[in-house]
């Protein structure tokens, strides 16, 4: 309630939002003026009172009543009267319709914040675009590098393929050249073989079908000798070879349908036995082949072609001479026996003499291998004049002492110019089994004792080895050696 006052006082109502209007409400409501303008309020009359109503014309703000106003001086002076919006939506609209310093600050802040966000977004976007562009460029560069590498690999494969084709072409060319050279060399060798065969045929004095015939790498050029099992030819190397001898002896054993498989196997076993032996005083064996139904055995060709038979024709010989010829033979026999190989056909014809005077045991056709089972128990083979008694009864069970008996027969023959026993085959075999040889004339009893021990019927009474037998013979000839 306003107290009376004589004079009206002008006043300004500072209100927000702008456009606020001031009314007075009493017995009747009247418009006083706009806010933020100087309003001359009429003086209070008597005890009449009224209220000051502040209202915004848009109706979206709550009106404000200032009361009680006892004195005009109590009315709002320069203070701010704020009308509250009815809701937040109106408050938001007020920031736009009626901007204030705060709304300007808020708007500026929002604008700056939004601008900063836009700037950051743009910056991030540009960075993302730059990163995407860099990734795209890196991917393009990688793709280009991969394409370049693929092209390089393709070019390398192509180069390798062309190089392989060039190498294959070169290999084919070299192979063709080698084949041509081989064909040329083969033609030359064939011409050399043909010339060698023609030469052998021209020099041959008989119409022997084997003269000039090629056996393996050799051509038979002349006949050396013949025996019960076959012929022996001198073979000349038909083509150069770094390790093969220039000349060999070719033992040709012609086979036919009448020969049993065991007989043919015996021929093949000769080369197998020869391969087991490697001794200076044993004829070397090189190989075997088959030519036109015959077995051809290649063995060492002994220069000179002489045998102990030629030496035997000069008998009787002194003991020292006999030992000179037979001591190497005894060494070879003991070597054979140490290899469990037994000759079983030792005779002067099977002891070759080289041009240097070195004896060599030959013809291993009847030699027994350690695992041989070809010979039957009561089968007899060998030369009767030199056959040990046990060979007449059990040819397969003989051992090295049978060769010692044959060596004793040769010693007897060289010292006396006769064999221990003579006559037909039956008489000789019977003598080997039952009779004692006569003493050798012209030699001492000690020498006869040694020879007779070599010729004992019971092999257990003979010398342990052939070399011991000849050593005993040497001691008997020269007793001073035993002292």
d(CA 428, CA 113) in angstroms, rounded, equals 143
Residue 15 and residue 21: Cα distance in Å, rounded? 9
- What confidence tens digit (pLDDT) does each residue in 72-116 have? 555 665 568 889 999 999 988 888 888 877 778 877 888 888 888
Could you read off the pLDDT of 135-184 as tens digits, one per residue?
A: 999 999 999 999 999 999 999 999 999 988 998 888 888 888 888 888 87
Distances 458 to 373, 412, 433 between C-alpha atoms, Å:
24, 18, 10
Distance CA 280, CA 284 (A): 8
259 compared with 448, residue with greater pLDDT: 448
Q: At what angle do helices 88-97 and 101-203 cross, to 10 degrees?
A: 90
10-97 CATH choice from 1.10.1740, 3.90.550, 2.60.60, 2.60.40:
2.60.40
| Percent of the chain residues past pLDDT 90, beyond the cut | 29
Nearest to 83 by CA among 62, 102, 58, 53: 62
* Domains 214-300 and 306-482 are alike in CATH topology: no
Domain 306-482 falls in which CATH fold?
Answer: Transferase(Phosphotransferase); domain 1 (1.10.510)
Helix runs in 277-355, H state only: 308-312, 319-338
pLDDT classification of 377: cutoffs 50, 70, 90: very low
Query: When comparing pLDDT for 1 and 84, which is higher?
Result: 84
How confident is the model at residue 324, as a pLDDT?
A: 93
- pLDDT score of 3: 39
CA 384, 390, 394, 399 dihedral sign is negative
How many CA atoms does the CB half-sphere of 392 hold within 13 Å? 20
CA atoms of 199 and 220, how far apart (whole Å): 11
Nearest to 400 by CA among 469, 451, 450: 469
| Tens digit of each residue's pLDDT (9 = 90 or more) over 346-373 | 999 999 998 888 999 988 877 766 555 5
Domain boundaries, the chain: 10-97, 105-203, 214-300, 306-482
**E strand residue ranges, 67-170:** 80-82
- CATH (one of 3.40.30.10, 3.30.200.20, 2.40.420.20, 3.80.10.10) for 214-300: 3.30.200.20
Query: How many Å apart are CA 350 and CA 383, to the nearest integer?
Result: 11
Question: What is the pLDDT, as a whole number, of residue 327?
Answer: 95
Residue 278 dihedral angles phi and psi, to the nearest 5°: -145, 95
Binning pLDDT at 50, 70 and 90, where does residue 306 land?
Answer: confident
Residue 236's closest CA among 152, 298, 309? 298
Mean pLDDT of 408-424: 92
How far apart (Å, rounded) are the C-alpha atoms in residues 29 and 54? 12
pLDDT on residue 176: 87
């Amino acid at each position: 309630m306003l107290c009376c006052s004589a004079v009206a006082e002008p006043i300004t109502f500072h209100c927000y939002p702008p456009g606020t209007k001031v009314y007075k409400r009493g017995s009747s409501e009247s418009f006083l003026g706009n806010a933020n303008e100087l309003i001359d309020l009429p003086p209070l009359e008597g005890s009449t009172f009224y209220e000051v109503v502040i209202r915004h014309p848009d109706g979206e703000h709550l009106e404000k009543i200032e009361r009680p106003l006892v004195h005009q001086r109590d009315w709002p002076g320069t203070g701010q009267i704020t009308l509250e919006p009815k809701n937040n939506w109106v408050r938001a609209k007020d920031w736009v319709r009626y901007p204030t310093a705060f709304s300007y600050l808020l708007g500026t802040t929002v604008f700056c914040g939004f601008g900063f966000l836009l700037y950051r977004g743009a910056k991030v976007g540009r960075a993302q675009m730059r990163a995407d562009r860099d990734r795209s460029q890196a991917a393009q560069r990688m793709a280009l590098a991969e394409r370049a590498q693929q092209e390089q690999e393709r070019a390398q494969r192509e180069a390798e393929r062309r190089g392989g084709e060039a190498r294959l072409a070169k290999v084919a060319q070299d192979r063709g050249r080698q084949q041509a050279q081989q064909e040329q060399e083969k033609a030359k060798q064939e011409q050399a073989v043909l010339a060698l065969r023609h030469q052998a045929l021209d020099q041959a004095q008989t119409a022997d079908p084997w003269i000039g015939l090629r056996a393996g790498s050799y051509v038979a050029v002349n006949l050396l000798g013949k025996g019960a099992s076959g012929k022996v030819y001198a073979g000349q190397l038909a083509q150069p070879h770094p390790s093969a001898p220039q000349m060999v002896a070719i033992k040709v054993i012609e086979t036919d349908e009448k020969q049993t498989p065991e007989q043919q196997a015996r021929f093949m076993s000769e080369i197998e036995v020869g391969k087991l032996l490697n001794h200076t005083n044993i004829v070397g064996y090189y190989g075997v082949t088959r030519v036109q139904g015959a077995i051809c055995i290649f063995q060492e060709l002994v220069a000179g072609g002489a045998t102990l038979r030629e030496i035997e024709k000069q008998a009787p010989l002194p003991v020292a001479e006999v030992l000179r010829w037979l001591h190497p033979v005894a060494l070879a026999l003991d070597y054979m026996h140490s290899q469990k190989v037994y000759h079983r056909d030792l005779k002067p014809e099977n002891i070759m003499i080289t041009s240097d005077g070195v004896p060599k045991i030959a013809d291993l056709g009847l030699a027994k291998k350690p695992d041989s089972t070809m010979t039957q128990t009561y089968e007899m083979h060998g030369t009767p004049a030199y056959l040990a008694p046990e060979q007449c009864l059990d040819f397969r069970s003989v051992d090295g002492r049978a060769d010692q008996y044959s060596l004793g027969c040769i010693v007897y023959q060289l010292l006396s110019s006769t064999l221990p026993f003579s006559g037909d085959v039956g008489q000789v075999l019977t003598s080997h089994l039952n009779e004692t040889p006569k003493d050798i004339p012209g030699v001492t009893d000690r020498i006869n004792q040694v020879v007779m021990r070599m010729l004992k019927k019971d092999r257990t009474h003979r010398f342990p080895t052939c070399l011991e037998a000849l050593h005993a013979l040497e001691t008997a000839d020269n007793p001073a050696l035993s002292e």
